[in-house]
Amino acid sequence: MMVWLNPTNYEMDFVLFASTVFFELSYSKSCLALTPGEGCFHVDIVYNGVKLALNGCQGSAVDGTGCSYPDFVAYMLSIWYTGPDQNNLDKACSQTYSASDDTNPDSLFDKFIFA
């Protein structure tokens, strides 16, 4: 998951065993009282205790991490899997690996190892 999230404020060569990733949804009561909507919600992503910043998310005014809910949804849609069976991730994840996948320019290996 950390490879896909690709945080801008945290570098890693590998994901540590027994790592944790939390998605925390919070909201502003005053915003909901005045102008209810998705913009009143904020998503923080915490990896092993470190709040993450994502490309395309404005982040909080305090530390620049997290996303408004609309920015979070837009970011997730931009990195979401778009290959075969994209609407059924259980089926997509159980596809049989083929060596021909290595020549696919959209393969995860090419995208994330050589990016």
Convert the pLDDT of each residue in 49-105 to its tens digit.
Answer: 999 999 888 877 667 788 999 999 999 989 888 888 888 888 888 878 766 655 555
3-state secondary structure of 67: strand
* pTM for the structure as a whole: 0.71
* Beta-carbon count within 10 A of 114 CB: 6
d(CA 81, CA 96): 16
Token code pair at residue 34? 């005045």
Residue 84 CB-density burial (10 A; 0-12 exposed, 13-18 middle, 19+ buried): exposed
Which among 75, 95, 77, 76 is positioned nearest to 85, based on CA atoms? 95
